[in-house]
Amino acid sequence: MNKTKLIAAIVIALAIAGIAVTSASAALVLVLSGEKVAELKYEGKAAGAATLETVDGKEISCTKTTIQATYTPLAGKEAAAEQGTTETDFEGCKKEKLACRSEIKGGEKDPIETILGTAALIAATEETAEKAHQFLLISSLNEPLVINCGGVKQEVKGSLPCLVTPAGTEIAAGETVKISCALEKPGKPKTGKCLSSATACEKLVNEPLEGNLGSGFERCAEEMTIEGKFNKMALLED
């Protein structure tokens, strides 16, 4: 299917579903009419290291990262989603020279140098300084993530914004989709103005990413680039 036919099919599906694609508050993950967004999956891995850094420069760095994401359809609208779930597997994780691994409830530890995390996903729209709109993915930890580094427990909580490209155009199954989480400065994510629903934007204000890596909770951010693929044709509507 060519681009014109794909976009037309998606717009028709949204019109039938009663979704306004021009709404600034409705960043959406979409699939073709007749398909189910609940069957859409994203799988990717980091191009390089992933680093969590606090405002005072404390770091946990991991050499390998893989991610899987699934999506929850809007009520009564099988082809569109605003939210989803992601499972991330960080390996080769260290704080300075100390090996780090996550812990689950009850103190059970994950494999050495492995941090496993589950987060809720929320689609949003970001406006850059040049007034351009971009697709923003907000990843919000379901509960504080406990990380054991050399026998000392660290903790991370809150929400992280990352840009996703390409957006606003059809993405074929198997085409590379990049998720970029960048630092503007230590502890501060590089992001523009959030334009989406209060549910999405308030996460970044009221539940920013924070980490206790030895000096109490303080703002932190993550730097990593994920390259992955959808298993179905999709569109990220920002």
- Looking at residue 74, its pLDDT comes to 95
- Give 10-residue mean pLDDT values along the chain (238 residues): 40 35 65 96 95 94 98 96 96 96 87 96 90 92 94 94 94 97 89 78 90 91 96 94
Bridge partners for 80 per DSSP: 30
| pLDDT for the residue numbered 202 | 86
Token pair of 31 as six digits:
């699939």
pLDDT recorded at residue 226: 97
Determine the structural domain holding residue 181 and report its residue range.
3-237
Annotate 23-61 with b (16+ C-beta within 10 A) or e (fewer): eeebbbbbbbbebebeebebebebeebbebbbbeebbbb
Q: What confidence score (pLDDT) does residue 197 get?
A: 67
Q: What is the pLDDT of residue 238?
A: 82
pLDDT of residue 7: 39
Whole-number pLDDT of residue 85? 97
Tokens for 72?
A: 């929850």
Residue 38 is predicted with a pLDDT of 98
State how many domains the chain has.
Answer: 1
- pTM here is 0.85
CA distances to 19, 65, 158 from 53, rounded to whole Å, are: 39, 16, 14
- Alpha-carbon span 141 to 29, nearest angstrom: 20
